Amino acid sequence: MASLSRQLAQWAAGLRYEDLPPAVIDRAKGVTLQALTSVLLGSKTASGKQAIQMIADEEAGVKKGATLMTNGTLVTRGGAAYANSEMALAGGKYDTFRMLTHPNTAIIPAALVAAESCGATGKAYLTGVAAGYEVMERMAAEVIPTTMAHGFHPGPVFGIFGAAVAAAKTMGYSEDRINSTIALCASLASGGLEAARCGGSPLREGAATRNALLAVSLAQPGHVGGETVLEGDAGFYHAYTGSNQGALRYSFAGDVRANLGNVTANLGKDWMFLETLYRVYFTAGYNIAHVDVTGDICRDNNIQYKDIDRIEAVVNWLETQYPSPAYTSRREDGAAEHGRTAYYTAYGAVKHRFPVLAGRKTDPKDDAPEILELMHRVKIIPSHQMTLFGPRITVFTKDGKSYTRQSTGREFIWEYDGLVARLQDVKPGLPIPAAQYDTLIATCRDLEKSARADALVKLTLNA
């Protein structure tokens, strides 16, 4: 049987826009809009400004390369990939797949750099994005908690593969070149946890995206990357998960073994890409449903703060031990704290929704006292039976009644126009006029009609 990288490369090279189901096309447009929204917001943050300034200072004046979004400076492709990815991560409006990866912070910047460099059409770009997502998420799906337990952050570790495949496909690479691109990514993948545990700021998707473009560039003239670099005895899975036989240290559902054959099973038929959630609140992904589900219970049943006795939320066990049971930095099932899951549950009960322009760290002084009081009456209960991002929430009222809603884990999966509706409130915080953002929305919606996908890059610039 062909190696995993060969099977993935063969599928990606042969994928056509016409092969994409409508739901996949819609999701590719949506993750693009969300990533660009995050880039716009991230350009105003300290880390976003730092990334722009560093790359512009080092690389301004190149004759051939790609554009720094929101800034307009022409820099190297790798430099643009790094800075644009850093802005996407800083903006906090990114997607999430199985809790610990955020594909569009790497895939969208890489695909747009590739589209700009080769003049790709909207259809070519959308096909590249779909290929990049599917490869990344299939490679990561069953081993995300185990990768984290080995001290690696799965976001950048797997993000490099999605970014590289998206770029290579957008540029029309052959099967052999995509295979080498994937193989080279196995050598360039990185992203550790310890820096965040000791007061540092780790390199994440920005570095992964830059390395992805390096892999793409090396593969272009014919660098041979090898065949069994993923599943071989000294390969990627052995290095990053501790086993090339699928042994798991942790899993979301309590499984002890993964089947690496699932990475390529039913490629192009069963789209894992469609599991990707939109994260519109700047908080850990497992908190997003707590806001909306609790808010919906209280709104639909006209439950006010004064009516609530207590709230219980049964959640997937790994959501209570972030980022991993092996290196837990916060327990969500302990005493309630501002900014933790109980806080977001209480916020949903009192306010029904969370402000989309709020940053990762909010000031308790800005919160209603009812939220800060109620969070101490929220109990978070871990369970191995609960789906990811799918809490079962029960609101107990003082009159002895209870109201329960079981989340599906898919509340933050919308069609394109549903995402657009949820992003409307970001407009006051953007560095471009609202009318220009509306044009960006419309361009993403009709991207398959665009002669050049990099028209999106120009729409991030404030003339």
CB of 51 within 8 A of CB of 71?
no
Span 162-182, average pLDDT: 98
Instruction: Please give the pLDDT value at position 411.
Output: 92
| Residue 124, C-beta contacts closer than 8 angstroms, at least 6 positions apart | 17, 115, 170, 172, 453
Q: Which residues of the chain form CATH 1.10.4100.10?
A: 4-279+417-458
Instruction: Please give the pLDDT value at position 207.
Output: 96
Among 37, 107, 92, 95, smallest CA distance to 69 is for 37
Instruction: Please give the pLDDT value at position 60.
Output: 87
Residue 337 identity: E
| pLDDT at residue 406 is higher than 80 | yes
Instruction: Please give the pLDDT value at position 1.
Output: 86
Among 234, 247, 284, 263, smallest CA distance to 146 is for 247
Among 246, 187, 190, smallest CA distance to 219 is for 187
Span 171-184, average pLDDT: 98
Give the chain's radius of gyration (CA, Å).
Answer: 22
| pLDDT at residue 360 is higher than 90 | no
Beta strand 378-383 with 308-316: parallel, antiparallel or unpaired?
parallel
- Across the chain, mean pLDDT equals 96
Token representation of residue 148: 């984290």
Among 134, 317, 110, 73, smallest CA distance to 205 is for 110
| pLDDT at residue 463 is higher than 80 | no
Instruction: Please give the pLDDT value at position 421.
Output: 97
Instruction: Please give the pLDDT value at position 202.
Output: 87
Question: For tokens 């919308």, what's the residue?
Answer: 414
- Helix, strand, coil percentages in the chain from 3-state DSSP, rounded to 5: 55, 10, 35
Instruction: Give the DSSP letter of residue 387.
Output: P
For 395, phi then psi, to 5°, come to -100, 120
Q: Which residues of the chain form CATH 3.30.1330.120?
A: 285-406
Instruction: Give the DSSP letter of residue 281.
Output: S
Of the pLDDT bands very low, low, confident and very high (cuts 50, 70, 90), residue 273 is: very high
Higher per-residue pLDDT: 202 or 274: 274
Of the pLDDT bands very low, low, confident and very high (cuts 50, 70, 90), residue 293 is: very high
What residues form DSSP beta bridges with 310?
Answer: 396
Question: For tokens 């980022």, what's the residue?
Answer: 323
Task: Give pLDDT tens digits for 213-252.
Answer: 999 999 999 999 999 999 999 999 999 999 999 999 999 9
CB of 341 within 8 A of CB of 373?
no
Span 98-120, average pLDDT: 97
Instruction: Please give the pLDDT value at position 79.
Output: 98
Task: Give pLDDT tens digits for 445-457.
Answer: 999 999 999 999 9
Count CB-CB contacts under 10 A for residue 425.
13
Residues 339 and 367: their CA atoms lie apart, in Å, by: 11
Among 391, 424, 423, smallest CA distance to 410 is for 391
pTM above 0.95? yes
Residues 34 and 336: their CA atoms lie apart, in Å, by: 31
Span 90-101, average pLDDT: 95
Indicate the fold that domain 285-406 takes in CATH: 60s Ribosomal Protein L30; Chain: A; (3.30.1330)
Higher per-residue pLDDT: 131 or 366: 131
CB of 431 within 8 A of CB of 44?
yes
DSSP string, 286-301: GGHHHHHHHHHHHHHT
Instruction: Please give the pLDDT value at position 380.
Output: 98
Alpha carbons within 13 angstroms on the beta-carbon side of residue 238 total 10
Class of domain 4-279+417-458: mainly alpha
262-285 residues labelled b (16+ CB within 10 A) or e (exposed): ebbeebbeebbbbbbbbbbbbbbb
Token representation of residue 360: 């990762």
Count CB-CB contacts under 10 A for residue 19.
12
Token representation of residue 414: 């919308």
From first CA to last CA, the distance across the chain in angstroms is: 54
What residues form DSSP beta bridges with 395?
Answer: 311, 403
189-207 residues labelled b (16+ CB within 10 A) or e (exposed): bbbbbeeeeeeeeebbbbb
% of residues, the chain, pLDDT over 90: 94
For 95, phi then psi, to 5°, come to -90, 175
Span 373-390, average pLDDT: 96
Count CB-CB contacts under 10 A for residue 408.
11
